[in-house]
Structure 1
Amino acid sequence: MSQRTTTNGASDPHVAVLAFPFGTHAPPLLSIISRLAASAPKTVFSFFNTEESNNSLLSTHKHYFLPNMKPFNVSNGVPEGHVLGGNLLENIELFIKAAPDNTRKAVAAAVAETGRKVSCLVNDAFLWFAADLAAEMEVPWVQCWHSGPNSLSAHFYTDLIRETVGVEGSEDELLKFIPGMSKVRVGDLPEGVASQSSFSNIVYSAGLKLEQADVLFINCFEELIPTINTDLNSNFKQLLNVGPFNLISPPPKIPDTNGCLPWLDMQKPSSVAYIGFGSVAMLSPDELKAMAEVLEASKVPFIWSIKKSLQESLPNGFLERTKSNGIVVNWAPQLNVLAHNAVGVFVTHGGWNSVLESIGCGVPMICRPFFGDQYINGRMIEDVWEIGVIVDGGIFTKTGLLRCLDLILWQEKGKEIRENVRNLKQVTEKAIGSGGSSMENLKRLVDTVSRPNQKMLH
């Protein structure tokens, strides 16, 4: 792309990227920004995040920081002398309250250091205040939605949902009045859509701003939920599906320190249950016990990725009694494990990244949702795509989990589920292949963010 530059590089593109520093939001944003930076090497990308989150990224995801990318620290908003109570919500509220002013200061420092004025603002959609910053800087405003169009639709239509079902609506009422959501129930909605809480006010504010963005890009591919995607497309200026992020911008191969892959090499195809619940969700002691009892009784080959601290809560002698048919590890290379032909089912919390990884590898799911978009993702898995099941009653019991494993690994219905997810895998591969929908949308996104500041060129 041809660019006009001045001697001080002032008209060269400079993209300010604002990350949401909590949960698992920052790493996927960093991964897709890295892909944009690789596609636009003359554009500078400044990545604004709290010092704590940046330090974490630099220790675990340093490979994503290309030469034209640099992290900048934004204050976490905790007042001097303030003692935090250990509640994540308090950290989020303090950060959001102070973020507009703190971000302005950090952006000014990055402009001074790079010698380039900001030409485009990209942010995690939870940081709704970025609308004002983009307007002040008179630059294109690009928002990133980390999850899928299903949760995006729920937040976009929050007012309509509240008006139609009421804040105290029936959990089982179906959202037939929203395109593509006819099988989703009120009880599947993310917290704060049909009810109100302090955190939901942050997400609600974000939902109100969504349609103002010049571009909204999401971690999905157009063919996954076409009805919802078409509807959202008609409501936004420009909606770009550029996912799955983890396949568009894959992480480097991480050493398999616990020997998961050699162990899988010795198992039969589609026989292994891989169990992992991400870095935040945690099973109760009763559910841990139920999971252990099922794995022991069923003799299903398994890899169970579970934190060291929680392994101490497993039943006495469980590790010894099951060592012939499974391994318990504190970490597993999830994408590589799911891609192995021995894995027959993924027992998951239903986080969006995990769902996309499972689809991309053609593995059916048993979903035990905990919070956020996990319930609505589980509903899509079971009733819309028919590529897995939600555990009975939403929690693990011995009989419920045995039934789910039996259904997916051995029943005729399990064969249909496996066929469905393998078909979706092929659709995913086409979307991220040359000329595929996600790759074409990625080109459009690169073009948007890497334009020089048009106002400055006149």
Structure 2
Amino acid sequence: KPESDGDVAVDCIPGLPFLTLQDLPEGVVSGRLDSPFSLLLEDVARTAPRSSAIIVNTFDAFESFSLPAIRNKVPACLFVGPLYRQTETADDHHGCLPFLNSHQPNSVIYVCFGTVVDLLLPKHELVGLAEGLESSGQPFLWSLKPERQADLPAGFVDRVKGRGLLVPWAPQPLVIRHASTAVFFFHVGYNSLLENLVDGVPMICRSAWADNHVNSRLVERVLGTGLRLRGGTCTKESVEEAIRLLLHEGEGKAMREKVGYWKSKAQDAMAPGGSSIENLKALLQILRGAGPNGSVM
């Protein structure tokens, strides 16, 4: 059935009623059905029912919509997260933290598309992103590979000097956790999503590939912690609009409250007696009782 944005809702995937056709990764219902990602999904689907357990870096409350459907196929599906490295100190050779310290709380846009997507983002989108950041008037910290900086608009770096900082790498956990960081603008990779959900801020999603589209729909429709770019790509207008909505409109306040809600849920899962702690205990029991032919996926 058609969605309001013209896409078609998918109602045949158990536990994922919020997805549309355009959210599904290539190789699921279209594109190359023999792509590495498609073959990986096929292998997981074939192996999962034979496994003693499936261990996932997530937590029960975060997956409440999909958990019954998954456990219907694999009863011992153990959500043991969120698991990620919580660093209090990190190498900051590029001055990210002093830059953040110099700006007001909840004012800085943090942009990072990850190692792969950083290199794959089309030049016209890189230009649109730069123009949107510049016209927004907000301070920003942008982790961008040096080889892509040549694609930026002429004079951009000079015009945003003092307000914008471009670095080849940033200590992401510390940046996300910093009081000055207001928004995380990213490709919606799962690890970054989970990391930001626990310690972070509202999100602007420019999904790229694999699970990114599913994740961005999850952020906007289910979690309520961020929004997708209008049109799905970086243009001056879509970037400026997203920043305005999150920083200067009611949507941003509601999303910050949602981020706080999910942070609390994640902490509950990892607290004594929490769902993830109990699932870790169940995993230990499975490992202790597994015979030589037992498998844990």
Rounded Cα–Cα distance in structure 2 between residues aligned with 1:237 and 1:297: 51
2:21 to 180, 186, 190: 186
The Cα offsets for residues 386-417 of structure 1, whole Å up to 9 and x where unpaired, read as 11111111110111111111001110111111
The Cα offsets for residues 149-185 of structure 1, whole Å up to 9 and x where unpaired, read as xxxxxxxxxxxxxxxx9xxxxx822123434322210
Rounded Cα–Cα distance in structure 2 between residues aligned with 1:193 and 1:251: 37
Contact kept, 8 Å, 2:109 with 2:138, in 1: the verdict is yes
Contact kept, 8 Å, 2:125 with 2:235, in 1: the verdict is yes
Aligned to 1:285: 123
What amino acid is the match of 1:437? S
SS at match of 1:377: helix
The structure showing larger relative contact order (alpha-carbon pairs under 8 Å, at least 6 residues apart) is 2
The structural deviation recorded for 1:202 is 3.9
Aligned to 1:380: 218
In the TM superposition, what are the counterparts of 1:185-334 in structure 2 within 5 Å?
185-195=20-30, 196-199=32-35, 200-246=38-84, 250=86, 253-281=89-117, 282-334=120-172
Rounded Cα–Cα distance in structure 1 between residues aligned with 2:247 and 2:52: 46
Rounded Cα–Cα distance in structure 2 between residues aligned with 1:216 and 1:415: 37
Rounded Cα–Cα distance in structure 1 between residues aligned with 2:99 and 2:268: 31
The structural deviation recorded for 1:362 is 3.4
The structural deviation recorded for 1:451 is 5.7
The Cα offsets for residues 108-165 of structure 1, whole Å up to 9 and x where unpaired, read as xxxxxxxxxxxxxxxxxxxxxxxxxxxxxxxxxxxxxxxxxxxxxxxxxxxxxxxxx9
Contact kept, 8 Å, 2:87 with 2:174, in 1: the verdict is no
The Cα offsets for residues 300-346 of structure 1, whole Å up to 9 and x where unpaired, read as 11100011111122122211111121110000011110011111110
What amino acid is the match of 1:205? D
Rounded Cα–Cα distance in structure 2 between residues aligned with 1:321 and 1:454: 64
SS at match of 2:54: strand
The structural deviation recorded for 1:349 is 0.2
Shift in alpha-carbon separation, 1:232–1:183, aligned structure 2, 3 A: same
The structural deviation recorded for 1:191 is 1.7
In the TM superposition, what are the counterparts of 1:69-218 in structure 2 within 5 Å?
172-195=7-30, 196-199=32-35, 200-218=38-56
SS at match of 1:182: coil
Rounded Cα–Cα distance in structure 1 between residues aligned with 2:277 and 2:26: 32
SS at match of 1:312: helix
- How many residue pairs get aligned? The number is 284
Rounded Cα–Cα distance in structure 1 between residues aligned with 2:134 and 2:263: 31
Gaps of 5+ in 2: none
SS at match of 2:242: helix
TM-score (norm 1): 0.59
Q: Aligned pair 1:425/2:258, yes or no?
A: no
What amino acid is the match of 1:187? Q
Identity rate, percent: 36
Contact kept, 8 Å, 1:188 with 1:376, in 2: the verdict is yes
SS at match of 1:192: coil
Q: 289-298 or 300-309, which moves further after superposition?
A: 289-298
Gaps of 5+ in 1: 1-164, 166-170
Q: In terms of Rg, which structure is larger?
A: 1
The structural deviation recorded for 1:286 is 0.6
Shift in alpha-carbon separation, 1:422–1:394, aligned structure 2, 3 A: same
The Cα offsets for residues 234-264 of structure 1, whole Å up to 9 and x where unpaired, read as 2104100011221xx5467421111211221
SS at match of 2:151: coil
Contact kept, 8 Å, 1:305 with 1:328, in 2: the verdict is yes
SS at match of 2:10: coil
What amino acid is the match of 1:375? H
What amino acid is the match of 2:185? V
In the TM superposition, what are the counterparts of 1:385-404 in structure 2 within 5 Å?
385-404=223-242
What amino acid is the match of 2:21? V
Rounded Cα–Cα distance in structure 1 between residues aligned with 2:140 and 2:248: 15
TM-score (norm 2): 0.89
Shift in alpha-carbon separation, 1:414–1:353, aligned structure 2, 3 A: same
Q: 407-416 or 250-259, which moves further after superposition?
A: 250-259
Aligned to 2:208: 370
SS at match of 1:234: helix
